[in-house]
């Protein structure tokens, strides 16, 4: 029984990777130094996995930005606008594709399956002539062999997943694209075989989504070809994130090993394994240790699971590994200094997960590892302590949660009644203008927060600073002529951390960073205990802002589903129970705002779709509870209180019908970055409530001209009623500079005025 890994976090224990990238982009280091620092980071990661004792160490999983982008570049798939000629793609073009350049907008970026990792979407179109610009897995294999003496397991994204996740082609072109790319894949594998690689890991996570049965025939064709191309190279066909639908077909494919997820897809995959068995000429790579969450595994439980599997698949035909690449978890618990000892001892990040795998493999190889070992005993002790930790239970919360079951979570009156009442109370002009919540988090704002955190500033000093910012920006918004104002969110670092820090049941790491996209890392909080509302979290700033103006100021909260999806969640309770507790706590915040006279309240759900199951048949159920969560938070308010929500990052076009059931009085949705794809949806779908489709892209420093905004508004008004339409940017403005923000918003207000006149 061998131990294996699928992918190791790139970012480095101290985020060295991120820092190196950013200083290279800023021109502070030369390309030569950049490459050599990156090499040392890459090699250190392989060395570490070797020391931990992993038998099959992945190579080629490292990247300078994203592994999908690497694959596109390796195949020379550089969109024309980047004007690449010649063979090898230089770093400058590689990074332009990821981040845009003066002359060419970046490639689109989107979520990697149901994770918070974002990949760069390859653009395939008929004018591209794919070719192998470099064999990245080969280079990685050679490097690890030469420099560390490790015979790695090269990793690459499989052709089916790669094409499926790309854009720019229609389904008719799909077969042709496969035929174009297959020879390149074959060449990659042949060169690896020649170099002496034994195994290659080909990731096909698309296999866990709902594929049509015919697609399995295409996949069989692909792997037939790849297998014939390099007969001495073993292919580990790797799936993760869920169970596969076509188990029987999959195990018959001409590959030498198949990897399954026995955490997220445990039930289905295990059922299939026990029912249909597993071929005796293949390796089963069992994803045992959760690659998506941060809790220590219960070794006793895992042992039993391995025994169950080993009853079907002989031990020497089994690999033990994490359920997915470890890029979705932080690197090591070792450096955490602020967690309670009990919690710290209950966690396993990437390195600790690999240790668990190595130990389990040894246990089955009878190599000295035994249940009496201190490692095993310590694990069982930690599991026991966590299970019995009374601080995770909050009986008050549990009691309230119990009552929630029978709640209908409906507003007092239906939307049409509320609409009329709200119109009378709010007296807004037609096409009201507003923003999404945050204003620029300038260096001054960040510095002030640091001073406060370090204790250089007292709380009153810091709060005074925040008030001053609010005051400044209320005045700016009035001057610009916006109709509905916001306080600006200057007191918030991050829309999840801010609330997590104020709610009971959350814990925070010091170094628990995870890559979100490119060099951007996030530090998800840990939901450790029952989630409790302790005291109002946003009331003070909102009330202060409202006291400065006669215009409405929106209260501003992060919604329950987003808080859940952007945290590491306790796994001793169903996720639904956890999110219900969050919803209850947020409802108290909504009620506190309303009680203090804040009666326009926005509850942001940018990550609503992030938890959407990968399988079609599970999506409806997800929507039902996600929508219900929003309604629990927002349904107890008066009819005249106007509930807003905001969503972004995702393609919502297929889901407007479900989103409408959230019953928010007003919704704002990001539109520009997905190139207005959502607008045509409203030709068919009726949406009867207030809606703002972002009229300009906040991710770019560019100031949108008035005419451009007018055109976008008019386009939207062809499918939506002027009576329901709101005018706002795509998302919050915290990453923009003040001058850009003011200039852009002035144009937005001018555009609104122009369109109003024409109505």
Catalytic residue positions? 699
- CB closer to Zn ion, 181 vs 650: 650
Least Cα distance to 361 among 311, 322, 312 occurs for 322
- CB closer to Zn ion, 55 vs 670: 670
Which listed range, 188-196, 572-580, 677-685, 728-736, lies at the site for ligand GLN (CB under 6 A)? Answer: 728-736
What is the total count of residues that contact ligand GLN (CB under 6 A)? 13
Residues in binding site for L-methionine: 436-438, 489, 604
Residues in binding site for Zn(2+): 646, 648, 657, 670, 731
Which residues, 6 or more positions from 647, have their beta carbon under 8 angstroms from its beta carbon? Answer: 604, 605, 606, 608, 609, 659, 667, 668, 669, 670
Residues 474-533 close enough to bind ligand GLN by CB under 6 A: 489, 495
Element (H, E) at 474: helix 459-480
Residues in binding site: 15-18, 111, 116, 436-438, 489, 520-521, 566, 604, 610, 646, 648, 657, 670, 731
Strand 484-485 and strand 109-111: pairing?
unpaired
Residues 542-571 close enough to bind ligand GLN by CB under 6 A: 556
Which residues, 6 or more positions from 217, have their beta carbon under 8 angstroms from its beta carbon? Answer: none
Burial zone of 388 (CB within 10 Å; 0-12 exposed, 13-18 middle, 19+ buried):
exposed
Strand 504-507 and strand 514-517: pairing?
unpaired
556 binds, among ligand GLN, Zn ion, none (CB under 5 to 8 A by kind): ligand GLN
Residues 384-443 close enough to bind ligand GLN by CB under 6 A: 436-438
419 binds, among Zn ion, ligand GLN, none (CB under 5 to 8 A by kind): none
Is 648 a binding residue for Zn ion by CB under 5 A? The answer is: yes
CA angle, corner 466, sides to 464 and 467, nearest 5?
A: 65
Q: How far is the CB of 648 from ligand GLN (least distance, A)?
A: 5
Tell me the three state secondary structure of residue 210. Answer: coil
Residues 322-381 close enough to bind Zn ion by CB under 5 A: none
Among 731, 733, 749, 752, binds Zn ion (CB under 5 A): 731
Q: How far is the CB of 733 from ligand GLN (least distance, A)?
A: 7
- CB closer to ligand GLN, 353 vs 734: 734
Q: What is the DSSP string of 319-363?
A: EEEESS-GGGS-S-STT--SS-HHHHTTB--HHHHHHHHHHHHHH
- CB closer to Zn ion, 247 vs 499: 499
Is 731 a binding residue for ligand GLN by CB under 6 A? The answer is: yes
Q: How far is the CB of 435 from ligand GLN (least distance, A)?
A: 7
Residues in binding site for 5-methyltetrahydropteroyltri-L-glutamate: 15-18, 111, 116, 520-521, 566, 610
Among 554, 732, 736, 749, binds ligand GLN (CB under 6 A): 732
- CB closer to Zn ion, 226 vs 731: 731
Contact yes or no for 611/578 (Cβ under 8 A): no
Q: Which residue is nearest to ligand GLN (CB)?
A: 732
Greatest CA separation found in the chain? Answer: 82
- CB closer to Zn ion, 329 vs 693: 693
Please state, in angstroms and rounded to a whole number, the distance separating the CA atoms of residues 513 and 505: 20
Please state, in angstroms and rounded to a whole number, the distance separating the CA atoms of residues 505 and 423: 40
- CB closer to Zn ion, 137 vs 606: 606
Is 742 a binding residue for Zn ion by CB under 5 A? The answer is: no
Burial zone of 70 (CB within 10 Å; 0-12 exposed, 13-18 middle, 19+ buried):
buried
437 binds, among Zn ion, ligand GLN, none (CB under 5 to 8 A by kind): ligand GLN
Is 643 a binding residue for ligand GLN by CB under 6 A? The answer is: no
Q: How far is the CB of 438 from ligand GLN (least distance, A)?
A: 3
End-to-end CA distance of the chain: 72
Please state, in angstroms and rounded to a whole number, the distance separating the CA atoms of residues 648 and 646: 7
Which listed range, 300-308, 616-624, 659-667, 729-737, lies at the site for ligand GLN (CB under 6 A)? Answer: 729-737
Residues 581-640 close enough to bind Zn ion by CB under 5 A: 606
Q: How far is the CB of 668 from Zn ion (least distance, A)?
A: 8
Draw the binding track, 584-623, toward ligand GLN (x: CB under 6 A; -: no contact): --------------------x-x-----------------
Which residues, 6 or more positions from 738, have their beta carbon under 8 angstroms from its beta carbon? Answer: 439, 440, 442
Phi and psi at 733, nearest 5°, equal -105, 20
Q: Where are the beta strands (DSSP E) in 631-743?
A: 642-647, 666-669, 690-693, 725-726
- CB closer to ligand GLN, 362 vs 646: 646
Contact yes or no for 362/546 (Cβ under 8 A): no
Residues in the chain: 759
- CB closer to Zn ion, 258 vs 731: 731
Residues 361-380 close enough to bind ligand GLN by CB under 6 A: none
Q: How far is the CB of 524 from Zn ion (least distance, A)?
A: 18
Q: Which residues of 635-655 are buried (b: 16+ CB within 10 A; e: fewer)?
A: bbbebebbbbbbbbbbebeeb
- CB closer to Zn ion, 322 vs 694: 694
Is 693 a binding residue for Zn ion by CB under 5 A? The answer is: no
Q: How far is the CB of 628 from Zn ion (least distance, A)?
A: 22
Residues in binding site for L-homocysteine: 436-438, 489, 604
Q: How far is the CB of 488 from ligand GLN (least distance, A)?
A: 9
42 binds, among ligand GLN, Zn ion, none (CB under 5 to 8 A by kind): none
Tell me the three state secondary structure of residue 557. Answer: strand
Q: How far is the CB of 474 from ligand GLN (least distance, A)?
A: 16
438 binds, among ligand GLN, Zn ion, none (CB under 5 to 8 A by kind): ligand GLN
Q: What is the DSSP string of 233-301?
A: SEEEEE--SS--S-HHHHHTSS-SEEEEESSTTHHHHHHHHHHH---TTSEEEEEEE-SS--BPP-HHH
Least Cα distance to 89 among 102, 78, 100 occurs for 78
Residues 193-222 close enough to bind Zn ion by CB under 5 A: none
Least Cα distance to 392 among 502, 504, 545, 260 occurs for 504
Q: Which residues bind ligand GLN (CB under 6 A)?
A: 436-438, 489, 495, 556, 604, 606, 646, 648, 731-732, 734
Q: Which residues bind Zn ion (CB under 5 A)?
A: 606, 648, 731
């Amino acid at each position: 029984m061998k131990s294996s890994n699928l992918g190791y976090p790139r970012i480095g224990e101290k985020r060295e990777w991120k820092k190196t990238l950013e200083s290279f982009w800023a021109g502070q280091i030369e390309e030569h130094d950049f490459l050599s620092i990156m090499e040392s980071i890459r090699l250190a990661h392989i060395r570490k996995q070797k020391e931990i004792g992993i038998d099959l160490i992945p190579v080629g999983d490292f990247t300078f930005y994203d592994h999908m982008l690497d694959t596109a570049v390796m195949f020379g798939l550089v969109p024309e606008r980047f004007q690449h000629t010649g063979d090898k793609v230089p770093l400058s073009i590689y990074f332009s594709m990821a981040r845009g350049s003066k002359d060419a907008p970046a490639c689109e970026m989107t979520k990697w399956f149901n994770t918070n990792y974002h990949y760069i979407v390859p653009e395939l179109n008929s004018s591209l002539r794919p070719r192998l610009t470099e064999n990245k897995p080969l280079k990685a294999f050679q490097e690890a062999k030469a420099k560390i003496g490790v015979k790695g397991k090269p990793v690459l994204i499989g052709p089916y997943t790669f094409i499926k996740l790309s854009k720019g082609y229609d389904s008719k072109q799909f077969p042709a694209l496969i035929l174009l790319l297959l020879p390149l894949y074959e060449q990659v594998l042949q060169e690896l075989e020649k170099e002496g690689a034994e195994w290659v890991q080909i990731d096909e996570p698309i296999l866990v989504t709902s594929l049509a049965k015919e697609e399995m025939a295409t996949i069989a064709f692909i792997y037939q070809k790849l297998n014939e191309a390099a007969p001495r190279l073993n292919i580990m066909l790797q799936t993760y994130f869920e169970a596969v639908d076509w188990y029987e077909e999959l195990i018959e494919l001409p590959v030498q090993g198949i990897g399954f997820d026995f955490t997220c897809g445990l039930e289905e995959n295990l059922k299939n394994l026990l029912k249909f068995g597993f071929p005796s000429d293949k390796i089963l790579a069992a994803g045992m240790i959760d690659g998506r969450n941060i809790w220590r595994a219960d070794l006793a439980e895992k042992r039993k699971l391995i025994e169950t599997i080993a009853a079907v698949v002989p031990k020497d035909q089994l690999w033990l590994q994490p359920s997915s690449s470890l890029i979705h978890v932080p690197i090591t618990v070792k450096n955490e200094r602020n967690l309670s000892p009990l919690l710290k001892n209950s966690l396993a990040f990437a390195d600790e997960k690999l240790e668990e795998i190595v130990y389990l493999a040894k246990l089955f190889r009878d190599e000295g590892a035994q249940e009496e070992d201190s490692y095993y005993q310590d694990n069982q002790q930690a599991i026991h302590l966590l299970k019995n930790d009374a601080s995770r239970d909050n009986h008050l919360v549990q009691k309230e949660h119990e009552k929630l079951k029978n709640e209908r979570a409906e507003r007092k009156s239906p939307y049409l009644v509320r609409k009329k009442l709200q119109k009378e109370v709010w007296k807004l002009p037609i096409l009201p203008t507003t923003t999404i919540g945050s204003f620029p988090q300038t260096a001054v704002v960040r510095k002030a927060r640091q001073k406060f955190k370090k204790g250089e500033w007292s709380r009153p000093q810091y709060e005074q600073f925040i008030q001053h910012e609010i005051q400044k920006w209320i005045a700016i918004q009035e001057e610009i002529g916006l109709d509905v104002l916001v306080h600006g969110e200057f007191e918030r670092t991050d829309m999840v951390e801010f609330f997590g820090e104020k709610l009971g049941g959350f814990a925070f790491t010091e170094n628990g960073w995870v890559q979100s996209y490119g060099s951007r890392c996030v530090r998800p909080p840990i939901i450790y205990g029952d989630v409790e509302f302790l005291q109002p979290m946003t009331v003070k700033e909102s009330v202060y802002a409202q006291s400065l103006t006669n215009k409405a100021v929106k209260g501003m909260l992060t919604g329950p589903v987003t808080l859940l999806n952007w945290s590491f969640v306790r796994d001793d309770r169903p996720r639904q129970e956890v999110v219900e507790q969050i919803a209850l706590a947020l409802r108290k915040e909504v009620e506190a705002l309303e009680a203090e006279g804040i009666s326009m309240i926005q509850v942001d759900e940018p990550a609503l779709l992030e938890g959407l199951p990968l399988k079609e048949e599970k999506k409806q159920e997800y929507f039902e509870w996600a929508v219900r969560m929003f309604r629990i938070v927002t349904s107890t308010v008066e009819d005249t209180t106007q509930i807003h929500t905001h969503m972004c990052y995702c393609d919502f076009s297929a889901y407007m019908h479900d989103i409408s059931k959230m019953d928010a009085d007003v919704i704002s949705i990001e539109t520009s970055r997905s190139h207005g794809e959502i607008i045509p949806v409203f030709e068919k779908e009726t949406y009867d409530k207030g809606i703002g489709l972002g009229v300009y892209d906040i991710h770019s420093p560019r100031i949108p001209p008035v005419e451009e905004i007018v055109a976008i508004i008019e386009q939207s008004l062809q499918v939506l009623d002027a009576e329901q339409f709101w005018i706002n940017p795509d998302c919050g403005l915290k990453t923009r500079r003040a001058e850009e923000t003011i200039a852009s918003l002035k144009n937005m207000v001018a555009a609104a005025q122009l369109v109003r006149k024409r109505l």
